[in-house]
Chain A
Amino acid sequence: MSAIQDSKPILVVEDLNVHYDTGKGPAKAVNDVSFSLRPGERLGLIGESGSGKTTMATALMRLTRAPGRIAGGSVKLDGRDILKMSNKELRETRLRDIALIPQGAMSSLNPVMRLEEQMIDAIVAHKPGMRRAELDARVQELLKNVGLAPEVARRYPHELSGGMKQRAAMAIATSLAPKVIVADEPTSALDVVVQRQVMQTLGRLQDGLGAAVVLIGHDMGLIAQFADTVGVMYAGKLVEIGPVRQMIESPKHPYTRLLVDSLPGIEVKRELTGIPGLPPPLVDLPPGCSFNPRCPLAFERCVRETPLLQQVAPGQSAACHLYPEHAALPPLPPMTRAHQELRP
C-alpha cells in the first residue's frame, strides 16, 4: 500500500465530462469527474444504474459512441492525454497500455471466429512481426494464466460457457501486459461462485502484471473485497473517494453512508435499509447538490450551491457541504415523513 502511495500516478483523469445529446439538452452522464490512479492500485467505482459508471469506463478508452460525446476534460495515461491522441496513436495505446475487460463478455467475442484467431489478431495488431509459432505459444500461455485449457483456443465463442467467455476476454485484455485495466462489471452476468473465481483470476493477473485496475460495478461487497480505493458515483458525479476501509467504516458523504447501510451484514442481523427515492434524470438535475432531494441531512445551501470534492480525511475526499464544518458525518436522522413518501 505504501509503495503505491509513493509512486507517480499512471492515470490522471481531470474534469471529465461525457454528455449524451438528447432532444431535451445534454444528459450529463459523467460530470466533472477527476481522480488518479497509481501503478498497481485497484480502484473500485460504484454507483447505481444510470450513475455514469459504464459511460466513464468507455470514455477512459475513448470508446464513447454517438449519441454520447466526450464534452471536456482529460485522461492522461503516463502523461499523454488519450482524448487528444491521433487515431493511430489511440489504436496503438489501446490494449498495449490500457485494456478493457468488457461488461457483456457473453457477447464481446466475434461469433464466427475461433478464440485463438481473436487473441492473435489483437497481438498482431500491435506486434506485426511475430511468427505463428510464437503467437501460438503466447495464446497457450495467456489461456493458462486465466485458467483455461489449451484446447479452448480452437473453439468458437458459442462453444464456451459464460465464465469461460469472461476468462477469454480477460486473456485478450492482458495479452500485451497493459499498465491500466478497465474492468466494466466483469461479473455482471455470472453466478456468485463463478463471480468469485473470475475476480480471483483478475486479482492474480493484476498482481502478475503490476497493472492498475479500474473496477466498475454496483456490488458494494464485491468491490470492497477487491479494491484498495473506492469511488462512489451519483448522477454522473464522483461524490466520494477514499481508501476502502475508511469508506466503509467512516463514510463522509450521506449517500455513501446509506449505501454501506444497505449492505447485509453476516454477524449482526439487522433490518436492511434502502435509499428512498430514485436517482434524478440526467437531463434535468436538481439545482445544487444532485443528491439533495434524497438526502436526510440536506439543508438550504445544498439546493443553492453545487458542492465540490474536498479532502475530508487523509486520502479521503467527499463532495458535500457538511464539510469542513463537521469533522465526521453526523448521525442520520430517522427518515422523515417526506422521505418515507419518496420510497419507491
Chain B
Amino acid sequence: MSRELVRYLLTRFGQLLLIIFVAVSINFIIPRLLPGDPVQTALARLQATGGAQNVDIQAISAAYRAKYGLDAPLLEQYANYWLDLFRLDLGVSFANFPEKVSTMIGNALPWSVSLLAVATLIAFATGSLLGARLAWPTAGRGIKAFVPLMMILTSIPFYLLAIILIYFFAVVLKWFPPAGGVDTTRIMRLDWATTEDILRHAFLPCLAIILGNVGFWALGMRSQMVSVLGEDYITFAEAKGLHPRRIFVWYGMRNALLAQVTALALSLGSVVSGAVLVEVIFNYPGLGSLLYVAIRGQDYFVIQGVVLMLIVSLAVLLFLVDLIYPLLDPRIRR
C-alpha cells in the first residue's frame, strides 16, 4: 500500500514538473513569435508621446536590447530566462518602470488567492449541498424553486452579475463599497478595523463569484445525486434500516461528490479566468486587475509573469486535487 502510494505521488509530482516546464517554455516562446518586440513597442509609444528623433531611437533601442538581453541568441535567452525564474526574477515593468514584476505579483497575489479560494469553496460547498438536497425525494416545493433560479444565475455571465450587484448594494443601498480592496486612506495594520475594511470590500466580488458558480455546482450535483440514488446500494442501505440522514450523507453525497471533485478540478481554469473579470469590474487589487492593466499598457514582462503565475498555480491546484482524489475514491488507489 505505502509503496504504491509513494509511486503514485512521485508519478503525479513528475507530471506537475513536466506541466510547469512546458508552460514556462511556451510562455517564453510565444511572445518571441509575435511580430515586433517589447522594446519596439515601448519606444514607439515613447516616440508618440515625446516626439524623439529617429537617430536617437536606434541607439536607445540597441541599448535597451542589450539591457534586457534581447540581443543574445535565443537559446541563451532561454537559459537566462530559467536562471532568472529560479531567482524569482520576472523582469521589470515598463509601465511603472523600476518596479519589479515579482514585487507587483507578490502584492497582488494574496488578494486574489484569498478572494478566489473563499468564494470558490463557498460556492462549491453550498452548491453541492443544495444540489444533493434537490435530488432527495423529500425535497419540498420551497427548495425546488431554486432550480430555475440556479439556471438563470449560471447563464448570466460573471461580469453582468457583478454590475448588477454594484448597482444595488453599492450605488442604491450603499451597504458596501463599489470598488477597491481596501479604503484608499487606510493605513494597513493588523487590527480589527483593517480586517473589517478588507472584508467589506471583498464581500461584493466574493458574492458575484459565488452567485455565478453556485448554480453550476448545484445542477451538477443534482444530476449526480439522482443517478447515485438509483443505485442498488441505496436500496440496500434502506433495507438495513439506516437513518435517512446517514443514507443521504454517506451513501448518497459521498458518492455523488466524486464526480463533483473531478468537475472542480476541470473547471479551475475557467474559475480563475472568470475571476479576472470580476476583479477588473470591482477594481480589486488582485492578479486579474494587474493582468488587465498590463495588457492595456502592453507591459510584456508583467503579462508574462502573471500568465506564468496562473498556469503554475493551476498546475499546483490540479496536483492537489489529484492527491485528494484517492482519499475520496478507494477504487483509484492503485
* Interface, chain A (partner B; CB < 8 A): 58, 61, 63, 65-66, 90-96, 99-100, 102-104, 107-113, 121-122, 125-126, 156, 158, 169, 172-173
Contact = CB atoms under 8 A, between A and B. Distances in A.
Contact of B246 (A66, A108, A121): A121
Given A110-B251, A112-B254, 20 more contacts: A58-B235, A63-B238, A65-B235, A90-B241, A94-B238, A94-B239, A94-B241, A95-B240, A96-B241, A107-B232, A108-B232, A108-B236, A110-B233, A110-B254, A111-B331, A112-B331, A113-B254, A122-B242, A125-B243, A158-B331
Interface size class of B (residues with CB under 8 A): 20 to 34
DSSP class of B's interface residues: helix, strand, loop or mixed?
helix
Interface in B232-264: 232-233, 235-243, 246, 250-251, 254-255, 258
A110 B237 contact: yes
A94 B240 contact: yes
B76 interface: no
Contacts of A113: 250, 254
Interface string B290-301: 000000000000
A121 B250 contact: yes
A93 B232 contact: no
Given A112-B329, A158-B330, A158-B331, A169 B236 contact: yes
Interface string B303-334: 00000000000000000000000001111000
B71 interface: no
Contacts of A156: 330-331
A63 B241 CA distance: 11
Contacts of A125: 240-243, 246
Contacts of B241: 90-96, 122, 125-126
A61 B243 contact: no
B239 A63 contact: yes
Interface centre among A66, A94, A104, A110 (most CB of B within 10 A): A110
A109 B258 CA distance: 16
B236 A102 contact: yes
Contacts of A63: 235, 238-239
Nearest to A111: B331
